[in-house]
Structure 1
Amino acid sequence: MRNTISISPSVSFVRADSQTVQVRGACPHDCPDTCSLLTTVENGVAVKVHGNPEHPQTGGVLCNKVSRYTERTYHPERLLQPQKRVGPKGSGQFEPVSWEAALTDIAARLKAIAARNPEAIVPYSYAGTMGQVQSESMAARFFNRLGASFLDRTICATAGGEGFTQTLGGKVGMRVEFFAESKLIIIWGSNSIGSNLHFWRYAQQAKRDGARLVCIDPRKSETAEKCHEHIALLPGTDAALALALMHELITHDWLDHDYIARHTLGWQALKERALQWPPERAAEVCRVPVEQIRALARDYGQCFTDRQPAAIRLNYGMQRVRGGGNAARAVACLPALIGAWRHRAGGVLLSSSGQFPVDKAALQRPELLAGRQPRTINMSTIGNALLAKTSAQFGPKIEALIVYNSNPVAVAPESGKVVQGFAREDLFTVVLEHFKTDTADYADYLLPATTQLEHWDVHSAYGHTDALLNRPAIAPLGLAKPNTQIFRELAAHMGFIEPCFSEDDETLCRTVYGDKVDFRQLLDKGFVTLNLPDAPFAEGNFPTPSGRCEFFSERLQAMGLDGLPDHVPNYETLGTSEQYPLAMISPPARNFLNSSFVNVKSLRNIEGEPVLEMHADDAAARGISSGAVVTVFNARGEYRVKAEVSARARPGVVNGLGIWWRKLGLDGTNVNQLTSQHLTDLGRGPVFYDCLVEVQAGQPGEPVV
């Protein structure tokens, strides 16, 4: 017998009996895969989350993290009631309060600050959920109406995004499913097995069909181990490598002259720049064997001469250095040189997010600003911003911070300053959260938010081209509310009476794409594939001002910047400091996603504890063995952690796997104690992997025994 359970007036789910239902949803986390989920619910309780086999990109398979999503939703430490701070900031001491009491007091505090200057109020959010509705719809309306400061959301991908925008016209590229047909796949700055699992399935299919896989990464990741070749360049030298590849393509005439002539801009200028980068020069900068560079160029050029597709999967690791934007630009130029875009299995993919027709204005309602132009705070320099006093340069001192979908005390760079800023007694802080994170410990009010299993949302993707709908599978636990509802109720307490604050979540879901995506299909299947060409740039038609792949960017030149891509050395270049002779990168631990899932016991048990991977030569020179507690330090701070002598680390580079909550570290810190608040050349992004350190057993200054 088939029965239905009603969720809203226009939606129902079919179930096999009166107790069990399967609900379609979408993974909300900061991952390119954006999987389609099926949640099995028994008697109102979610008992299992698994991949939707009907969704081609998911293929019924989930990563180890999301497959344990019920463990996170029903975690015994889940926040289920509003709480008010009763102890010192950072102590994590709270007492329960009612929603009415919390919202009334929060509104009163915000009104008082806004009466002086609403720009003293700052939102802080990022990709705790990637959903269009629960991330920036009702929240953006609230802050626009209030006149609060804007937040420049830069902490992940803006350097590469700007580089691609200046070269290809946006966050666009080849469709991920066609990597399965490629004959050469270059995986650049990505541990795909841990952070892009469903792309890895396509790469494996191509490998079985004879494709060659090359991984470019300072760390010998799980992905690098499975590729035919690993090029372990130094952090921040990717543009030098890309320019040397161009040099070889030019000197050996592995070039599609017709494609270059018809579909690119600035070829002669790029040619002159690339010819300054012979493989020998790049090998010295990257500290890799020169023959590796020549061989990769030969493989890439051979794809042109043999009319075989070559594809590059670029990820975000390589852009988190000073020259990250230029590096992304340089790599984005490569496919046009050999005409790789002619093939549907050729080209490059960094992010597909620019291809989704999201109606941001309808979601965020910028007209609520009423002509105001608030200042902008860069989330990557929140430490400096919180410590700045009122000035002509910075504007008003930040008096209130509302944090949602983020854990800045753990994830923002130079966290010693971030903690100092959050610890200000005169800073009013509200945090919407699932758990008592490092950031939550500094809140004045904690507001319990729903997880993905408990609310509506619509998702775009940045690793494929399917739009997804998330339905609530269970009722909100305890007194938790969706972000949208929290901001609706807060707006009401502030006296905001505009009709847009009354729109429900299903209406917001329909607003995301307007008439550009059939919402009925989303309701019926849970996903809709965008109607896009298989080979989007086979005949040019790039979304740039010229319609061409712009090797030379007149827009950058107009801003006083170099119109051509170039190698921009790190702020902290290896070999320039006797005091800090090691470069440090902080790639994600495989079983965490940024700082999410760190408190899921089964996943933390797999990871074990925070570690610093060191090459045997670097460890031996310092008398360090695996398991020893070491201090990693630079001028910004210290971080105590256990060392792991590992072949995953290359000489001169240590890998501080992240992002652990600070409170779980040996001394209450994590790897971001050492990273800086410098910004990238393009996109105003952070430079997490542009960081020099020293490592010593024991405390700094102590003799090594």
Structure 2
Amino acid sequence: MVADTAVFQVRGACPHDCPDTCALLTTVQQGIAIKVQGNPAHPHTAGSLCAKVSRYTERTYHPERILQPLKRVGPKGAGQFEPVSWDAALTEIAARLQSIAARDPQAILPYSYAGTMGLVQGESMAARFFNQLGASQLERTICAAAGGEGLVHTLGGKLGMRVEFFAQAKLILIWGSNSIASNLHFWRYANEAKRQGAKLVCIDPRQSETADKCHEHIALLPGTDGALALGLMHELIAHDWLDHDYLERYTLGWSQLRARALQWPPERVAEVCGIATDQVVGLARDYGACVQTAPRSVSVGAKGTVGASEAVVAPVATAGSAAIRMNYGVQRVHGGGNAVRLIASLPALIGAWRQRSGGVLLSSSGSFPVQKAALQRPDLLAGHSPRTLNMVTLGDDLLRPASPVFGPAIEALVVYNSNPVAVAPDSGRVVSGFARPDLFTVVLEHFQTDTADYADFILPATTQLEHWDVHSSYGHTDVLLNRPAIAPVGQAKPNTQIFRELAQRMGFDAPCFQDTDEALCRQAFGHSVDFEALLDNGFVTLATPEARFAQGNFPTPSGKCEFFSDRLAAQGQDGLPDHVPNHEAAHSSAIYPLVMISPPARNFLNSTFVNVKSLRDIEGQPLLEIHPTDAAARGIESGHTVRVFNARGAHHCVAQVTKRARPGVVHGLGIWWRKLGLDGTNVNQLTSQRLTDLGHGPTFYDCVVQVQAAQDGGT
């Protein structure tokens, strides 16, 4: 037993929705966490954290943290609650759920996502509870589903380069990612490559902080990434910058893809993407210079723009490895799945996979041998097949009446690890659904978020410093263990304990509901990961190949990189990837002539950290970045309050006139809590519930709007 006066450190892991999955060290004194820092022993974290997580103690000890169960006493949405005991809250919740389940358990819907990425506090005991109950299943697609499905049908899974080998690449394409803000430790590897002479190219509609630091920025129109990839293929074919041996041995469908790519000359690509033809040609030359069987030196295309903070001279990409770091900005449009398929196909054309520092990385999560069935226990369904509802269409589903096709109306909603009123698209309809007086809503939370305001009961959950968990990653290949550093603050309980106690009150007596959190951590990977090493070190590195696909061995049905997918063809889809235009493409509407994307504000992570005052003070107010040309046409200046609107609704925010936005595209930086916005809305008032081509994912960046100065014209 450690004395109360001792100062000690506890190893943990960052729980947030970020590819870095950092290893943490929490310093504890007299039972209080006084500091959270990166673990220098973990190679990927290397002792450093982002500005958000370095302030984690501010979240744990936040004065507005919910520390006891609350019951609603006012109208829904008014945020009026009174304290109740745990026993009273859980007893009433169990009684309400039992009453609904007696009619049809599918009228109960769990809603959760990545408020924690932990395998235990995320979907272990909660999944067991809802499986035993027979509740509706949730299709959790709101972030990565389109890209993940694209990878599955091309590479065979969510697999790719090991992130540390980007440091050895000679050309790095950062495609759809503001890495400095959202993938900080990858940026460390990219910067190391840059110091060794590598060329960095940022492909992103927005001139982000990352674009400022790259040698070239290609500001294509949102949703045109697939067209650019096809244009690169066209040039690789036309100039024979190809690894023919790799294509013959390790790919499927090359002749079909070749024919399709030849329909995309640079001039057509430039018109669709809204960029210069020279940029398409120059990027293809750089990428082609890295072909593995015939390396050659080539001239570079037009030099890209850079930020004033760092002058960069663009080198010519020389023979060597080419690496692509994709991120999720690529896939949040109608054709996101196809775009990922096309980009993920590029390394096979030049044989980039032959080197460990060549290839592509979107997600590494498929590397982890997670024992999902052991954690979630689908056997508890006992032969029942409840319906599955997509989390992206929550607004429509909450307002949908019972029908033979839809099934029962949703009567109860249990929300944990998410804030759907703020983060789900078309939030006007989401709010209308949550405001239903007959909807019984339970929310497990740290704070009184937009969603919690509509709850009938709010149950206080622990933060990462207060519970056990185990983590995989989608940015590297290390398993991390999180030990509790402090006792739960107030009356907070881990998600797992809340669902254990609900299960007991519901009469669920299966032994699996008695598993401790440490036992669940051990079950997460079974015998495939040395748990004792996790206890000792806090992390374990998976044994994965350095050059994963150097000899093919793709985990696809054919064992090859599948340019043509028989599985997709069998589903009635095009087996060959193509450019799929946006639902709401640029120039498609005279009424709403601007395209809006909603990238994350640098100091927030989705809707997390918005209520941390030090971070919110840095962000200031909800912003809309708009190009000077578009602003001048509307009489808008920086600091003006503007009304951004479309057929789904309107949102007021503050204009920032900047060349970070390209003409015709605006950026609604998110995701602010609605109640902390200027008019009780956020950018998701404008986004739609339409889905992607693959994976049933969201189309947040597939949105047209109009912008006008607000009536007061000022701040």
TM-score where L is the length of structure 1:
0.97
- Following the alignment from structure 2 to structure 1, what is the Cα–Cα distance between the partners of residues 537 and 713? 64
1:37 aligned to 24, 36, 39, which one? 24
Question: Which residue is equivalent to 2:528?
Answer: 516
Residues 1:332 and 2:344 are matched in the alignment: yes
Measure how far apart 1:393 and its partner are. Answer: 2.2
Q: What secondary structure, in the 3-state scheme, does the structure 2 residue paired with 1:515 have?
A: helix
Q: Is the 8 A contact 2:640 2:713 kept in 1?
A: no
Residues 1:90 and 2:102 are matched in the alignment: no
Residues 1:559 and 2:546 are matched in the alignment: no
Q: Is the 8 A contact 2:354 2:547 kept in 1?
A: yes
Pairing of 1:74-223 with structure 2 (within 5 A): 74-223=61-210
Amino acid at match of 1:88: P
Question: Which residue is equivalent to 1:64?
Answer: 51
2:505 aligned to 467, 483, 493, which one? 493
Pairing of 1:461-500 with structure 2 (within 5 A): 461-500=473-512
Pairing of 1:449-464 with structure 2 (within 5 A): 449-464=461-476
Residues 1:280 and 2:292 are matched in the alignment: no
- Following the alignment from structure 1 to structure 2, what is the Cα–Cα distance between the partners of residues 573 and 35? 37
Residues 1:433 and 2:445 are matched in the alignment: yes
Q: What secondary structure, in the 3-state scheme, does the structure 2 residue paired with 1:25 have?
A: strand
Question: Which residue is equivalent to 1:568?
Answer: 580
1:447 aligned to 433, 448, 459, which one? 459
Deviations 1:285-319 (A, max 9, x none): 00000100100000000011325110000000010
- Following the alignment from structure 1 to structure 2, what is the Cα–Cα distance between the partners of residues 660 and 102? 30
Deviations 1:681-700 (A, max 9, x none): 0000000000000000125x
Amino acid at match of 2:178: N
Question: Which residue is equivalent to 1:422?
Answer: 434
Question: Which residue is equivalent to 1:225?
Answer: 212
- Following the alignment from structure 2 to structure 1, what is the Cα–Cα distance between the partners of residues 421 and 704? 21
Q: What secondary structure, in the 3-state scheme, does the structure 1 residue paired with 2:696 have?
A: coil
1:54 aligned to 7, 30, 41, which one? 41
Question: Which residue is equivalent to 1:9?
Answer: none
**Unmatched 5+ residue regions in structure 2?**
296-318
Question: Which residue is equivalent to 1:399?
Answer: 411
Q: What secondary structure, in the 3-state scheme, does the structure 2 residue paired with 1:23 have?
A: strand
- Give the total of aligned pairs: 689
Amino acid at match of 1:411: V
Residues 1:681 and 2:693 are matched in the alignment: yes
- Following the alignment from structure 1 to structure 2, what is the Cα–Cα distance between the partners of residues 540 and 480? 50
Measure how far apart 1:19 and its partner are. Answer: 1.2
2:612 aligned to 597, 600, 603, which one? 600
Q: What secondary structure, in the 3-state scheme, does the structure 2 residue paired with 1:136 have?
A: coil
TM-score where L is the length of structure 2:
0.96
Q: Is the 8 A contact 2:232 2:283 kept in 1?
A: yes
- Following the alignment from structure 2 to structure 1, what is the Cα–Cα distance between the partners of residues 694 and 421? 25
Measure how far apart 1:703 and its partner are. Answer: 11
2:238 aligned to 236, 247, 251, which one? 251
Pairing of 1:288-687 with structure 2 (within 5 A): 288-304=275-291, 305-306=294-295, 307-687=319-699
Q: Is the 8 A contact 2:641 2:713 kept in 1?
A: no
Q: Which has the higher mean CA deviation after the structures are superposed, 24-33 or 639-648?
A: 639-648
- Following the alignment from structure 2 to structure 1, what is the Cα–Cα distance between the partners of residues 545 and 623? 45
- Following the alignment from structure 1 to structure 2, what is the Cα–Cα distance between the partners of residues 684 and 690? 14
- Following the alignment from structure 2 to structure 1, what is the Cα–Cα distance between the partners of residues 484 and 370? 21
Deviations 1:61-112 (A, max 9, x none): 0000000000110000000000000000000000000000000000000000
- Following the alignment from structure 1 to structure 2, what is the Cα–Cα distance between the partners of residues 655 and 39? 36
Seq. identity, %: 75
Amino acid at match of 2:163: V
How large is the RMSD of aligned CA atoms in angstroms? 1.1
Q: Is the 8 A contact 2:5 2:29 kept in 1?
A: no
- Following the alignment from structure 1 to structure 2, what is the Cα–Cα distance between the partners of residues 18 and 615? 56
**Unmatched 5+ residue regions in structure 1?**
6-14
- Following the alignment from structure 1 to structure 2, what is the Cα–Cα distance between the partners of residues 575 and 478? 54
Q: Is the 8 A contact 2:153 2:567 kept in 1?
A: yes
- Following the alignment from structure 1 to structure 2, what is the Cα–Cα distance between the partners of residues 308 and 19? 53
Runs of 4+ aligned residues of structure 1 deviating over 3 Å after TM superposition are none
Q: What secondary structure, in the 3-state scheme, does the structure 2 residue paired with 1:132 have?
A: coil
- Following the alignment from structure 1 to structure 2, what is the Cα–Cα distance between the partners of residues 666 and 18? 46
